[in-house]
Chain A
C-alpha cells in the first residue's frame, strides 16, 4: 500500500509532465492546492478546461489564438510587407513587447533538428512561401533562436524563400548564441531588431 492518497499521486503525475516541473515541485504544488480555497482550485480547473476548448491555430500565421484569423493577422494597421518568422507562439509576445515591430508573424512550431528527426515537413515551413505570394511580403525576418537548430532553420527557410525575390534578414547577434528568444530581455531583443541585417 502506498502512503500517498491516490488522487494526490494522480495530480503529481499529471503535473510532472509539464516542462520544468519535476516530481518534487509537482508535489509541492499539489500540497499548496490542497491548502487553497475551493474557489481558487475551481477557477484553476475551469481555466485549464477552457484553455484547450477555446483556442485554435490561426490559419494564416499559425499562432495560438482564440479567433481565426488571429488579432494580429486581422489588424489592417499592421504592415503586411514584413513577415517575422519565429519558432514558437511564446516568441510573439516577446517581440511585441519591444514595440519595434509592426509587421505580421509566422510561427513554425519548432526548429529543424536533424538528430531528433525533425525535418521541414514537421514544421510550417512550406506555408511561408504561400504567404509571401499571397500578401505581397517584401521582407522575411528570421527570428529563430540563435542556436545550432535555430540557425539551421533560418538557413533552410532562406533557401526556400530567396528564389521568390524577397529580402531576407536575420536578427542581429545582439542576442548571444545559445539563448532562447522567449527569455530575452526587452532591451537586448529590441537592439537585435534595430540592427537586423541582410541574410
Chain B
C-alpha cells in the first residue's frame, strides 16, 4: 500500500555513485521535477532487482519514499535500458557527455519538461545509431536555449544592427553574434564565419533528425564546436570532464575510420533564412 510519503517519478539516470557497502546514490533527471537525488539500497548486490534499473543512462519509473535526508528508491521498472548505446564506446561516451551536460547545468528540483524531452530524444537517437557530432552540437545549442542562454544570432548584440552575410564574430560574454563594426571593442569575440552562423541558425530552426543529417566540413564542424564550447564554459563556469574523453577518443581515431567530410554550404535548406 502506498503511504503518504510514497511517490513515483519517471526519469533518466544521469549520475550515480557508490555509497556504503552495497548501495548506490542515483541522480535522475526526471520528467516532471527536474534533477533529483536518491539512495538505492542494495543496488550493487548481484541479484538486486534495483541494480539494473538504477544504472547510469537507464530510463525508468521509480517508486520512492520521502525522507528527511536523501529519498529512497524502493522499486523500479526499466522503461529503456539503451543496451545498443551501451554496447559501443563512442555512442556510450556521447551519451555520458550529454548526461554530464544536463547534470552540470541544472539544479535539483527545477522542473524542465522540454529539457527532459530533448535529453530522451537524444538518447533514443544515439541508441538507434545516430550519435554523431551534429547531434552533440544540436543538443548543446538547444540546451542553452532551454536554460535561457540562447545566443542571439539575428542582430548584433552590441548595436542591434541586422547581421549581414559577412565575417561577423561571436562573444560568449555578450551572449551572441556581433557585427564587424562592434567586434574590435569586444575582448572575447571570436570570428564567426557566414557558414557557421548559418549552421547555428539551422539548428535553432530545425528538429533533431534534420539537424543530425546536416553534413559539415571538418573545419566548419570545428568552428561550430569551438563557439558552443566557449558559450557553455562561460555559462557553466567549468570544464566538462567527459568532453576531454570525447576528444581523446576522436584523436586516437578509434572510431572514426570512415568519417565523412562533405561540405555544408550548398545544402539548400541551410540557405533559407
Chain A residues at the B interface, C-beta cutoff of 8 Å? 19-20, 112, 114-117, 119-120, 147-148, 151-152, 155-156, 159, 175-180, 183-185, 188
The docked-state distance in angstroms from the alpha carbon of A64 to that of B51 is: 29
Stretch from B85-93, B201-209, B219-227 forming part of the interface with A: B85-93
CB-CB under 8 A from A114, the residues of chain B are 93, 96-97, 100, 241-242, 244-246
Task: Assess whether B241 is in contact with A179, with CB atoms less than 8 Å apart.
Answer: no
CB-CB under 8 A from B84, the residues of chain A are none
CB pairs A–B below 8 angstroms (10 shown) = A114-B241, A117-B244, A119-B245, A152-B92, A152-B93, A178-B51, A179-B45, A179-B48, A180-B22, A185-B46
Interface size on B, residues (CB 8 A): 39
Task: Assess whether B89 is in contact with A152, with CB atoms less than 8 Å apart.
Answer: yes
The docked-state distance in angstroms from the alpha carbon of A74 to that of B52 is: 38
Task: Assess whether A155 is in contact with B89, with CB atoms less than 8 Å apart.
Answer: yes
Q: Counting chain B CB atoms within 10 Å of each CB, which of A152, A159, A179 scores highest?
A: A179
B54 CB–A CB distance under 8 Å: yes
B43 CB–A CB distance under 8 Å: yes
Q: Given the known A-B contacts A119-B245, A151-B92, are A183 and B44 also in contact in the complex, defined by CB atoms under 8 Å?
A: yes
B148 CB–A CB distance under 8 Å: no
Task: Assess whether A180 is in contact with B92, with CB atoms less than 8 Å apart.
Answer: no
CB-CB under 8 A from A184, the residues of chain B are 46
B55 CB–A CB distance under 8 Å: yes
Q: Given the known A-B contacts A156-B89, A179-B45, are A148 and B96 also in contact in the complex, defined by CB atoms under 8 Å?
A: yes
Task: Assess whether A177 is in contact with B51, with CB atoms less than 8 Å apart.
Answer: yes
CB-CB under 8 A from B92, the residues of chain A are 148, 151-152, 155
Task: Assess whether A178 is in contact with B89, with CB atoms less than 8 Å apart.
Answer: no
Q: Given the known A-B contacts A148-B86, A156-B89, A185-B46, are A115 and B15 also in contact in the complex, defined by CB atoms under 8 Å?
A: yes
